[in-house]
Amino acid sequence: MKIGIVGGTGDIGEGMALRLSPLFDVMVGSREQEKALATCTMNRELLRKRGKECSLTGVGNQAAIDGADIIILAVPFKHLVGTLEGLHGFEDKIVISPVNPMEKRDHFTFVPPPEGSAALLVKRLLPQSARICSGFNTIAANKWKALDEDLEYSVPVCGDDEAAKREVMGIVNRISRLRAFDAGPLAASCMVEALTPLLLNIARYNKMKDVGIQFR
């Protein structure tokens, strides 16, 4: 299975690539291919020192889409529309959105687009045959990169294509100690995306760091 990460040189994208590349063939996409190549070289060495073989290839964002079976949109919400408008080739592919529309005011707050969630915005922007799921929304970038730590979190996954949702949940369940949960249709993604500003507020007001969720 080949996974392409659009925005793979950002904090979350890079961290996801570190966790995914020992398990899958990962293409790290970037607007600047040279940056993606440098990131992959550095991270291959980082994983090698930990005794882990990996499959990491640095490419442009479009090449990450063209060569992947599954695409992860690891871009900030403010850049989501601009990024997707310059890309194509999403037809019939599984697309995972970990994007959370939020703002930092006097506290973190959920600021969804008119569609109701970032995932629903992605659905509107991409071809009808693209199989959109939301997932990985509540895992902090720092935790992805903390390779000496297990990821012991629950991961809600939303989607309208049941087969695509099962495949995404299967990927989740292979990463560290993550556990995927079916959170319903894509229309429910707003509730999942709103968890991240909540978690950030809990961390801020209770002097905690990188707060996550677990369902038991």
Classified as helix, coil or strand, 57 is strand
Report residue 69's pLDDT band, with 50, 70 and 90 as the boundaries.
Answer: very high
Separation of alpha carbons 35 and 127, rounded Å: 28
Q: In the predicted model, what is the mean pLDDT of the chain?
A: 97
In the predicted model, what is the mean pLDDT of residues 98-112?
Answer: 97
In the predicted model, what is the mean pLDDT of residues 197-209?
Answer: 96
In the predicted model, what is the mean pLDDT of residues 124-138?
Answer: 98
CATH 3.40.50.720 is right for the domain spanning 2-205 = yes
Separation of alpha carbons 6 and 190, rounded Å: 21
- Output the pTM of the full model: 0.96
Over residues 33-48, the pLDDT tens digits come to 999 999 999 999 999 9
Q: Are strands 108-110 and 102-104 parallel, antiparallel or unpaired?
A: antiparallel
Rg (CA), the chain: 16
Listed in sequence order, the DSSP H helices in the chain are: 11-20, 33-49, 61-66, 77-85, 118-125, 141-145, 162-174, 189-193, 195-205
Classified as helix, coil or strand, 166 is helix
Report residue 197's pLDDT band, with 50, 70 and 90 as the boundaries.
Answer: very high
Over residues 7-29, the pLDDT tens digits come to 999 999 999 999 999 999 999 99
Q: What is the DSSP string of 78-100?
A: HHHHHHHHT----TT-EEEE---
Q: Are strands 108-110 and 154-159 parallel, antiparallel or unpaired?
A: unpaired
Domain boundaries, the chain: 2-205
Separation of alpha carbons 46 and 39, rounded Å: 10
Separation of alpha carbons 76 and 74, rounded Å: 7
pLDDT for the residue 195: 97
Separation of alpha carbons 181 and 168, rounded Å: 10
**Furthest C-alpha separation in the chain:** 46
Over residues 83-99, the pLDDT tens digits come to 999 999 999 999 999 99
CA nearest neighbour of 26 among 144, 138, 152: 144
Report residue 82's pLDDT band, with 50, 70 and 90 as the boundaries.
Answer: very high
Contacts of 57 (CB under 8 A, 6+ apart): 25, 26, 27, 28, 40
